[in-house]
Amino acid sequence: MADVYITKSILHILDSQVGLPVLSEQLHPKSTDTEFFLAEHLKRLMEDPEVKECVLLEDRENPIRKILQDYQQNTDTFLSMSKALAQSLYEYMMSNSEVPPSDLAVVSFHQENREYLGVLKFNYKQTFTHEVNHQEDGNINSIIQYKRTIANINQRMEEAFVMDLKDMKILLKEKKVKINDEKIYYLSEKFLLCKGKPSDKEKMAIINKTNKEVLKKHYDNDFKKTTDLKKAMVENLTESDELEIEEISEKVFRDNPEAQKDYRDSIEKRGLTEPRIKLAPKTSEKVMKKQKIITEEGIELHVPVEYLDDRKVKFLNNGDGTIKIEINDITSILNK
Say how many CA atoms lie within 13 Å of 40 toward its Cβ. 12
Confidence (pLDDT) at 202: 92
Phi-psi region of 91 (alpha: psi -120 to 50; beta: other; left: phi over 0): alpha
Confidence (pLDDT) at 1: 64
Distance CA 283, CA 205 (A): 12
- Whole-structure pTM value: 0.79
* Helices 245-252 + 223-240 axis angle, to 10: 150
Q: What contacts 302, CB < 8 A, 6 or more positions away?
A: 290, 291, 292, 293
Distance CA 25, CA 296 (A): 62
Confidence (pLDDT) at 309: 62
Confidence (pLDDT) at 194: 94
Q: Give the model confidence (pLDDT) of 255-301 as tens digits.
A: 899 999 999 999 999 989 888 898 888 888 777 777 777 777 888 88
Bridge partner list, 327: 313
Of 42, 173, 53, 161, the closest CA to residue 109 belongs to 42
Confidence (pLDDT) at 178: 93
CB 11 within 8 A of CB 105: yes
194-196/52-56 β-pairing: antiparallel
103 burial level (CB within 10 Å; 0-12, 13-18, 19+): buried
All residue ranges of the chain with pLDDT < 50 are: none
Cα dihedral 153, 156, 157, 161, rounded to 10, equals 100
Confidence (pLDDT) at 161: 97
Task: Tell me 175's DSSP state.
Answer: -
Q: What contacts 251, CB < 8 A, 6 or more positions away?
A: 228, 232
